[in-house]
Every structure is written in C-alpha cells, then in structure tokens.
A and B are shown apart, each in its own frame.
Chain A
C-alpha cells in the first residue's frame, strides 16, 4: 500500500467516482470532515484528561473511518493505533500519540484541500 503519500489517490478518485464526480459535494464532505476533526481532537483530549478510554476509542475510530474514506490511509492507520490504545485504556501513551496526530492532521487537511481544488472545475 502506498504509505508515503498523504492521500491515496486511488481511494480518493474512487470516492469521487462513487459520488458521480460531484466535486462540490466532495468539497462539502471534506469540510464536514475537517470541522468534525477539530471536534474529535477536542473530545479526544478531554477523554485523555478525564480518563474516559471508551470516549477516546470512539473518537479515534470516527476519525479513522473518516480519514480512510478520503484515502488518508497512513493517517487512518495512526488513528487506528490511537483507537487501540483507547481500547487498552493506555491513556498516557495515547496522549503523546494524540498530539502527534493533531500535527499530522494539518498535513492531511492541506493535502485534502489541495486534492479538492485539483478536481473542482475552475470556477
């Protein structure tokens, strides 16, 4: 699997195909993803702080599936690690991962926005 790319292009284009090439909707979807990601990171931090491992697991899971939908497979894999940490209630370890993940998410966001730009008809 191509892990060196931030966004797996094959997945990304398949998503676009499945949306009937509707780049606007794709844009809407990406925005929804990015908005929700901020909320998810906030709830993950809160979960780590308050020791609620299930909440962490759930949020990481959501972030994982969302990211994977757009082809951010490497990022999704890291989300998966965080999800597993949540499952194991290893919150100390999770805290560091969560911070690293938030940094990495900026790259994903940038790459996705670039991707959406590239497929949107220049209007």
Chain B
C-alpha cells in the first residue's frame, strides 16, 4: 500500500502522529486495566459467563494496544493504527452481543476508531467506506435498542454494569474528543502555515518578475551578438523566408555575389545567384528539398552566379530554419572556393607539368613509391623497353626489372637507401656522388640487341625528409660507346698516319736532298770548268735555283719539325764571334756579287762563348743576312751583337756575391741592318707568319716561301729570346731585324787570342785605316783599339797620303781594295813611295777586299796579308800577329803552310793522336785502319758503340771515328753517352763516318754531340782534313 501511493504524511507528521498515538495508548491502557479488573471482579461476583468473556476480550484488547504502542514507538503507524482500530471494532461487535446498552458503547468505540484511523486512510473511497460503515453500525445500534433479542441484558444484574460500561466508554469518548480538539489546534497551525506560504509565494512572484525583465535584456544582447556573428562572418550567410526570398544577406554575401544587402533583400535567392543555365535546375532542386514537407539540409560543392555573370566555385550548406515546430525559411551558407580551386588547379597544373616533363625527358625515367610500386614510367623508357606505362604503373615486386633482365630483381633504384659502406662493399660497380648513385651496365637483350646503359638513381624525400620513393634515370649510351671505339680506332689510325708521315718526311727529305746536293755540287764543279758566257749563265742558274730549292726544303722540314714539336736544340758551348763570322762567310759571295759592304761588330762585353745551339743560331743569322742581301741593291749590311744591360747587372751581382753559382744567363742582342727597300710599317706584323711575305709582288720579284722568318722567329723563341723588325718602309733606309737569345755563358771554352783585351805585340802600334765605308772604318778602329793599338782612319786615300806626307807615323796600313778615288793597291804603292823618301811611312800593308775576283793583279810582295770582307777579328788578329810577332822575333818560321794535307807517316809525328775506330763492317774497319796506318797512326777498333765506350773506359783517345749505323748501340747513342760521361775537355773529338753525307744526317750527328764528319766510302783527303782539325787532349780522360 505504501509502495503504491504517496505517503499522505510527511515525516514530521508521522513522528507527530506517532507521539499522538502513543499518548492515546498511554491514556487508554490504565482505564482498560481498570475495566479488566472490574470485569474480573464482576465475573467472580456474579459467576456469569458474560464477565468471563468480557475479561477475555478486554485482555485481548489490552495485548493489542500494548503491541500497537510498541509499533507506534517504532513509527509503524499504519499497522499500529490498524491493530487499534481492529481491536476497537472487535470489542464493539463483541459488546453488541451482550446488551443493548452496550451498543451505544460499541458505537462510540467505532466512532473512536474512525477518528483514529481517518488521518491514515489514504483513499477517499476507503475513508468514505469507513464513514459509511460507521453510519451502518450506528443504524444497527439504533435498531438493536428496540429490544433484547437474545435476552442477555436480562441476565445482567441491575443497571450497574450498564452504568459502569457507559461511564467508562463515555470517558473514553471524551478523551477521544479531547484528542480531536488537539488535532484541530494542529489544523489551525497548518492554516497559518499556509497563509505564511502564500505570502512567501507573492514575494517570490515579485522576485520572478524582476528576474524576467533582466532576462529579456540578456536575450536582446544575445540577439545582437548573433547578428554580429552573421554580419562579420567570412562565410556568405543568407537567410530566406519559406518562399526562398532573401531576408538576411551578410557582407560576405555582398562580396561574394556582388549584390548589396538592400538589393538582395526580398528577392528570390535562386533568381539572384542561380540564374545560369548550368546551375538553375540544380538550385531549384535544392530549394525544393530544403523547403519540403520534411525538409532536409543540403551540402554541395557547386557553382553560383556572380552579379557580373561569371560563375563562382562555392561550397553550399542550406538548412531549413525551424522555430517552435514551424518552418521559418532557409539558412544558406556559401563558402568561396575560388582560391582553393585556383590553388588546386595550380597544383594539378604543376603535377601535370611534372608528369609531362618526366614523360618528355629524352632519358628513360622510372619512379617508384615507398612500397616499390611504379608511379612513373615515361615515354623514353616505354621506347627503351617496349613496355607501356599502362602495363607498368602501380606494379611492385621488382616488376620494373623484367623488361631489362627478364627476372624480378633489385636494380640500382632499390639501392638508394642502402648505407654507403654496404654499398661500397657489395656493389663495386656502383659509385656514389652525394645522394646520387651511378652505375653502368651492359644489358644483352633489350630492344633486340645488347645495349650499354648508364643508370642514375636517387631517393625522393618529402618536406620532412622522409624517403617517399626513388627515381632512376637510364641513358642508353651504346652509340657513344661505339663512337668512343670508333674514335679510338680513328686515333690509332691518325697516329699511324702521323708515324707514316714522319717516316715519309724523313725519307723524302733524304731523297730530295740527295739529288739536290748532286745538282748543287755538280753545277759548282761545272762552273769551275771552262765555259762560254751562256753556259756559265745556265750553270749559275742551276746552282742558284738549287740553293734556293735546298733552302726551301730545309725551311719546310724545320717548320714541320717545329709544328710536330720535334725540334730539339743542342746545348753546346760555342764561340759567338765565330758563329757570326761563319754566317757572314756564307753570304759574302752574294754580297760581293751585288757590290754590298758586309760588316760585323761584336761588342767587347759579349762573352767569348755561350752554351746554345750554334747551328740554329747560325741558321737564323744566315737567314736574316740572306734576306738583307736579297732586298738591298746598294749600300751595306751590318751585323751588331751587344749584350743586354739587364743581364750585365745580373752578372755583376753574381760575381760580387756568389762566384760559385752556375753560369750566368746572358741575353745577347743581334741586329742585322741593311740599306735595302725596307718594309712598310703596316706589313711588319705579317712578316713572321708562315708563308707570308711583305706582299705578293715581293714574292714574284724576290722569290721565297716566307718560311724562313717564321722558322727563325720560332728558333729565337726556343733559344729564350724573340725577334722583331724595325723599318720605316723607306727604300734606302732599309730595315733592322732584331734577334735576342738567352743562354748561359760558357766558361770552359778558352778565349781566343783575338778576344784578348790586349796583346803585348800589338800594344801601342799605330795603324792607318783607309776604307771608303764608314761602318768598316768604325769596326776596324774599334777592333784594333781593343788590342791596345792606336788607329787613325779615313775614307779618303788622298787624306791618308796627306797624313803620311805630313809625317804621321804608322806601323801599319789597312787598306780597302775597292775605293772610288784610288784603289788599295795604288794607295799602297803611293804610300810606299812616300816611305821611300825620308818620311816615316807604314812598313806593312794589309789589303781588304770583298770576295770574288779582284779584277786586277795584286803584287804578291806588296801586302803582308789579304783579308776578305767582312773582316773576321780572328783573321785580322792573326794577320797582325804575323806581321808584328815576326817583326819582333825576326826569326820567323817560314810560312811553309802546306797547300794540301800531307799524306804520310810524318803526319802522326806532327800531330800525334790516339784514334779509336768504331765500325762494325769489316771492310770499312780494314780500310780505315790501313789508311790511318799510312799516316802513321795505329788505330784501335771497336765493333759497335758499346765496345767504343768500353774502350774509352780502358784508355783515353783523342779522336773517335764513329760509324753511325752499328748494331747493339749506334753511333748517335754512343756519342750521347760519351758526351754525358766525359764532359768538356775530357771528351775525345768524335768524327762521324756516314754514307748518308747529307745535311740532315750531318745535323743529326752534330745534334748528338759529334764534332765533325767524313763521308763513306772513306777518302784519304777527307780523313786527313778531319784529323788535321783534331788536337791531342791536354789530359786523357780518366777511366771511370
């Protein structure tokens, strides 16, 4: 019952009720004990069953009440009340059985139970039923009052029992009423409490009203806030009414669609932003969906129309607005995707471009992702492998190796993440540069043939540096490989061709020079025979042409050698003056034929000897002199040699500080000056180019290839100097060719006597110099002054005669033969005539002449010496010494210089020489030994170069006659070794014996270090001449 219905009593009520019940029971029990005692007494007194029964009833009642009191104490009110009520009812009914009077008491008891139970009966009906039952009980009581159907009352003695019972019951009823009054007091309290609560309620209503007012203000603020959110939202927000007409249009929407809020307001949303054929239907669909009976929200990426008609990419979200169950319209939000779209397109574009680039790359490209699946396979690799990208893309598990190797296997692209060390150890064919791997391979079967592939691979990384894949680029370099092979073959062929060319050149030079020498030699011999004028002219032409041709051939050969870098310079000590003089010797014939004066002036500080290539220096000088003579019609050609100031200073420093230092490098400056046609200044620079002359007409007029100067310039550069030309281009003023060389000064060559600064025999002697050529006069004057002589020079014979007539003392006169007024012979005669008088006159005469016929008889006894121009200092010195030494000693040795070499044993007596013959051929050995024996020499024989060196090690020799071609070690090689082992004065003179008596061979011999040469077959005269040039060595070479 309790569980089903709410408890009608509050907990405070319950405790209160419990207290009331206990009070009721406390009051009830003592009278009941009294009633019980009375009933017991009555029973004892009357011995009537009624009293016994009454006693039992009252006892039961008392027990129930005691129990109820306990329950009440435990606040088990309901059961307590029920127990009391039930007991009361039971008592009332039992009483009703006994007597009519007791009905009233029973009625009162029932009323009491009702009063007790009422507050606890939860149900109205139950309460009513209880009241009805009480009423029914009352009616039953009233009816029973009419008689005593059972006669019980008659058996009760007197009215006493009735009175006791009535009294007791009445008293109990009174008590109950008292309790009831008390309850009404409580009711009053309850009413007042109600009034109190009503007042409290009113207060609370006032409070609530105030709170409501406050809340409405808050709501306004919230509305404004929401409004601001909408207005400031970067997203275009549009709200419409149910007919999709615009109500709200925020600034972002204004910006997105171009309509202002005022323009948009009230207009149909689709008319505003979906008025375009491509999107109109779609927008209408959306509108239907979102405004349907059961509306659904829309979310779509689509396009909307801008005011200017363009379509904008947008993301649309549309939801119905429902307030209180009623649809109020649509809320639409537009996200502008233009920028995102643009970035996306740019990204796609760049992806596409990248794909295109990879695809269009000429090299085969393969890209894989982290899992080894192919993500790019370009056109070149399609072409290379014949496998289409469609078949390959997305495939993993080394599928990409199949087209190359026919099997699934890792290739270089799979090695990009292999650590460097492991890579080095396991894959020696792969090399790594930074992050990139390189590998070459030969694939035997690809596209139907073998190909050479060069593969490059590297890892691909994301922005965080993680490996996301790898790329490999493969290049087919088969063609290059073949080209390299072809190139290698071509190179070999070219080298062979060069070899052949060199060989050809060597052979040709030899083959051309051989007949050339014959032509030149024979034409020379021919001119020595009696000829008529025509024949002589023909012979001369042959001779000159031959000379010219030989020069050209030599130039070409030299030039080829230089071009090939095969020109080697000799480094041997030689006499500078002798070199210049010998060069002059070679051209003096031509000069004299043209009537040109040749002169040479070597400065005194020029060292006596330098270490360089005498042959080449002479060649250059001859070339310059030859040109000078060729281009000069009249006048003179002068060579001057000076030492450059700079190197002189160097030398001074050397000598002061460190005399033991190696030989000083001297810089010599040669100038060949002529008085010819000159060279126009604008042509000067072309002069030294190969095959270039001043101009074409020059070539026609003077001939020549123009190679000579190019060769000369190169040679001068090889000798550490250079060459240039100065000319004003004025005919008659000629040009000056300058040549410089740098070379170490040679110390081991003894200075020639002519280079000595002073000679005691010549000191103080007085010399008269008569020459119409000023240069010659100057040179002669300087030369003789250098030897300590006093000189007086004039160009006029008359003046010279005057000087002598006036008594000027001269020991000697040096006279030029060809002078305009009076020639040298006449002048000598005149001077002697003066001397025949009392006047002192020169006692000795030296005649100077140009080479060639004198044109007149020269009295043999008139001149102590005849010297040909250009004057060689050594020849002049010898002549002077001959005159003055003889005059000093008086006991002069008769000048019995044999005209030809003496052949006989006395030669060895005169010139004792230790001779070694190095020759392998027995016939030549025998012949040489025999010929030498006839001269009185006992020669030793060595069969080859090696034996020659061994012989030299055993004992010293003065001369070696060296065959060039020998087995084991040829003459050239042997000569080089000998030069290296026995340097300077210890070295025997080496005379080559060669059958190839051509200039080239001779140069080769000299280049190897040989001093002289004789031709084979050996001829006595040649041998004698060669030996005559030898001198016994001062010291024998010490055996090594």
Q: Is A68 an interface residue (CB 8 A)?
A: yes
Complex Cα gap A61–B966 (Å):
10
Q: Are the CB atoms of B995 and A68 closer together than 8 Å?
A: yes
Complex Cα gap A122–B921 (Å):
30
Q: Are the CB atoms of B927 and A69 closer together than 8 Å?
A: yes
9 contacts between A and B (CB under 8 A): A15-B1017, A18-B931, A25-B930, A33-B923, A36-B923, A58-B966, A65-B921, A65-B995, A68-B1017
Complex Cα gap A122–B456 (Å):
97
Q: Is A2 an interface residue (CB 8 A)?
A: no
Q: Is B619 an interface residue (CB 8 A)?
A: no
Chain A residues, Cβ within 8 Å of B966: 58
Known: A65-B1017, A87-B507, A88-B507. A58 touches B967 (CB 8 A): yes
Q: Are the CB atoms of A65 and B507 closer together than 8 Å?
A: no
> Other CB < 8 Å A-B pairs besides A29-B930, A57-B965, 8 of them?
A11-B1017, A15-B1017, A32-B926, A33-B923, A35-B922, A36-B922, A55-B967, A65-B995
0/1 string, A1-38, CB within 8 A of B gives 1: 00000000001001100111000010011001101100
Complex Cα gap A110–B756 (Å):
62
Q: Is B924 an interface residue (CB 8 A)?
A: yes
**6 nearest interchain CB pairs?**
A66-B923, A69-B1017, A62-B921, A18-B1020, A33-B923, A65-B1016
**Taking beta carbons and an 8 Å cutoff, which residues of B are in contact with A?**
503, 507, 920-924, 926-927, 930-931, 934, 965-967, 995, 1016-1020
Q: Is A105 an interface residue (CB 8 A)?
A: no
Q: Are the CB atoms of A88 and B934 closer together than 8 Å?
A: no
Complex Cα gap A66–B965 (Å):
13
Q: Are the CB atoms of A62 and B1019 closer together than 8 Å?
A: no
Complex Cα gap A19–B503 (Å):
39
Complex Cα gap A19–B934 (Å):
8
Q: Are the CB atoms of A66 and B924 closer together than 8 Å?
A: yes
Q: Are the CB atoms of B1017 and A58 closer together than 8 Å?
A: no
Q: Is A84 an interface residue (CB 8 A)?
A: yes
Chain A residues, Cβ within 8 Å of B995: 61, 64-65, 68
Complex Cα gap A82–B967 (Å):
17
User: For window 70-93 of chain A, which residues contact chain B by CB distance below 8 Å?
Assistant: 84, 87-88
Complex Cα gap A35–B926 (Å):
13
Q: Are the CB atoms of A65 and B931 closer together than 8 Å?
A: no
Give the distance to chain A from B752, nearest Cβ to Cβ, in Å.
35
**Taking beta carbons and an 8 Å cutoff, which residues of A are in contact with B?**
11, 14-15, 18-20, 25, 28-29, 32-33, 35-36, 55, 57-58, 61-62, 64-66, 68-69, 84, 87-88
Q: Are the CB atoms of A19 and B921 closer together than 8 Å?
A: no
Chain B residues, Cβ within 8 Å of A55: 967
Chain A residues, Cβ within 8 Å of B1016: 65, 68-69
Chain A residues, Cβ within 8 Å of B1019: 14, 18
The closest CB in chain A to the CB of B1016 belongs to: A65
Known: A36-B921, A66-B921, A69-B1017. A29 touches B927 (CB 8 A): yes
Chain B residues, Cβ within 8 Å of A62: 920-921, 923-924, 965
Q: Are the CB atoms of A69 and B924 closer together than 8 Å?
A: yes
A-B contact count (CB 8 A): 63
Known: A18-B1019, A65-B1017. A28 touches B926 (CB 8 A): yes
Q: Are the CB atoms of A29 and B923 closer together than 8 Å?
A: yes
Among the listed B507, B920, B1020, which residue makes an inter-chain contact with A84, where contact means beta carbons less than 8 Å apart? B507
Chain B residues, Cβ within 8 Å of A35: 922
Chain A residues, Cβ within 8 Å of B965: 57-58, 61-62
Complex Cα gap A8–B701 (Å):
45
Q: Are the CB atoms of B927 and A20 closer together than 8 Å?
A: no
Give the distance to chain A from B992, nearest Cβ to Cβ, in Å.
13
Chain B residues, Cβ within 8 Å of A66: 921, 923-924
The closest CB in chain A to the CB of B931 belongs to: A18
The closest CB in chain A to the CB of B966 belongs to: A58
Complex Cα gap A55–B970 (Å):
12
Give the distance to chain A from B960, nearest Cβ to Cβ, in Å.
18
Chain B residues, Cβ within 8 Å of A68: 995, 1016-1017
Give the distance to chain B from A70, nearest Cβ to Cβ, in Å.
8
The closest CB in chain B to the CB of A20 belongs to: B934
Q: Are the CB atoms of A65 and B926 closer together than 8 Å?
A: no
The closest CB in chain A to the CB of B1020 belongs to: A18
Chain B residues, Cβ within 8 Å of A25: 930
The closest CB in chain B to the CB of A18 belongs to: B1020
Complex Cα gap A18–B935 (Å):
11
Q: Are the CB atoms of A88 and B503 closer together than 8 Å?
A: yes
Chain B residues, Cβ within 8 Å of A57: 965
Q: Are the CB atoms of A29 and B934 closer together than 8 Å?
A: no
Complex Cα gap A11–B924 (Å):
15
Complex Cα gap A121–B629 (Å):
59
Q: Are the CB atoms of A32 and B922 closer together than 8 Å?
A: yes
Chain A residues, Cβ within 8 Å of B1017: 11, 15, 65, 68-69
The closest CB in chain B to the CB of A84 belongs to: B507
Give the distance to chain B from A39, nearest Cβ to Cβ, in Å.
9
Most B Cβ at <10 Å: residue of A29, A35, A55: A29
Give the distance to chain B from A9, nearest Cβ to Cβ, in Å.
15
Complex Cα gap A109–B277 (Å):
124
Most A Cβ at <10 Å: residue of B920, B923, B930, B1020: B923
The closest CB in chain B to the CB of A36 belongs to: B922
Complex Cα gap A66–B1017 (Å):
8
Complex Cα gap A28–B923 (Å):
10
Q: Are the CB atoms of A29 and B920 closer together than 8 Å?
A: no
Chain A residues, Cβ within 8 Å of B934: 18-20
Most A Cβ at <10 Å: residue of B921, B934, B965, B967: B921
Chain A residues, Cβ within 8 Å of B921: 36, 62, 65-66
Give the distance to chain B from A51, nearest Cβ to Cβ, in Å.
17
Complex Cα gap A32–B507 (Å):
31
Known: A61-B995, A64-B995. A32 touches B923 (CB 8 A): yes
Complex Cα gap A87–B965 (Å):
12
Chain B residues, Cβ within 8 Å of A29: 923, 926-927, 930
Chain B residues, Cβ within 8 Å of A20: 934
Chain A residues, Cβ within 8 Å of B927: 29, 69
Give the distance to chain A from B970, nearest Cβ to Cβ, in Å.
9
Give the distance to chain A from B506, nearest Cβ to Cβ, in Å.
8
The closest CB in chain A to the CB of B924 belongs to: A65
Complex Cα gap A65–B996 (Å):
10
Complex Cα gap A68–B927 (Å):
12
Chain B residues, Cβ within 8 Å of A15: 1017
Chain B residues, Cβ within 8 Å of A28: 926
Chain A residues, Cβ within 8 Å of B507: 84, 87-88
Give the distance to chain B from A68, nearest Cβ to Cβ, in Å.
5
The closest CB in chain B to the CB of A87 belongs to: B507
Give the distance to chain B from A78, nearest Cβ to Cβ, in Å.
14
Chain B residues, Cβ within 8 Å of A19: 930-931, 934
The closest CB in chain B to the CB of A17 belongs to: B1020
Chain B residues, Cβ within 8 Å of A65: 921, 923-924, 995, 1016-1017
Complex Cα gap A65–B994 (Å):
9
Give the distance to chain A from B522, nearest Cβ to Cβ, in Å.
11
Chain A residues, Cβ within 8 Å of B931: 18-19
